[in-house]
Structure 1
Amino acid sequence: MCRNIKPLFNFEPVATEQEIAAASLQFVRKISGFTAPSKVNEAVFEQAVQDITLIAQRLMDTLVTNAEPRNREVEAQKSRERNAIRFGTKEV
């Protein structure tokens, strides 16, 4: 899976439309192999992003959990710590 696509479920505040659209765009880029499609593929590429965004939004709206919502800042700090270990850089 593409490392640029981050989990969006069970956060407080909930994922925004922009975050879901950005994840959808990354997904379509990953599976199509295009960062930016050619003119001939542009319409179908954009339609795929829109379709996946709608489906992802529906998924986010209907998933259920009993777990406590995660905090974005805490999760971001954990990610920075993992990256510091992984890449051997100073901890942020």
Structure 2
Amino acid sequence: MCRNIRQLHNFAPPASGEEVHAAALQYVRKVSGSTAPSQRNAEAFDRAVAAVALATEELLASLVTTAAPRDREVEAARARERSARRFA
């Protein structure tokens, strides 16, 4: 859906509250079609971000996996490598 939303599950250390909030913000921006809501819609926008963040945190806490946690640095290096191949 949105390239800026990153996978948050099964990382060591677990996703921070900031990462969850950033993903929620990107999701609400994408769905609403605006990066900055008008003053009239700001409250609804902020409520939606908070609700999506809460649902995301609950989801991440509920997921179970037998796979070993991934390393953020290794995944970032792989992403840079893919990007270099794609845009070379």
Q: Which residue of 2 aligns with 1:85?
A: 85
TM-score, normalising length: structure 1: 0.94
| Amino acid paired to 2:29 | R
Q: Which residue of 2 aligns with 1:63?
A: 63
Deviation at 1:87, TM superposition (A): 1.0
Deviation at 1:29, TM superposition (A): 0.4
Q: Which residue of 1 aligns with 2:24?
A: 24
**Please, which runs of 5 or more residues in structure 1 have no aligned partner?**
none
Distance in 2 separating the partners of 1:60 and 1:17: 11
Q: Which residue of 1 aligns with 2:38?
A: 38
1:39 is paired with a residue of what secondary structure? coil
Greater RCO (CA < 8 Å, at least 6 residues apart): 2
| Amino acid paired to 1:50 | A
Task: Indicate the percent of aligned positions where both proteins have the same amino acid.
Answer: 53
1:35 is paired with a residue of what secondary structure? coil
Distance in 2 separating the partners of 1:18 and 1:73: 18
Distance in 1 separating the partners of 2:53 and 2:41: 18
Alignment deviations for residues 31-88 of structure 1 (CA, whole Å, 9 cap, x no partner): 1111000111100000000000000000010100000100000000000001101111
Distance in 2 separating the partners of 1:38 and 1:71: 39
**Please, which runs of 5 or more residues in structure 2 have no aligned partner?**
none
Distance in 1 separating the partners of 2:77 and 2:3: 16
Distance in 2 separating the partners of 1:84 and 1:37: 35
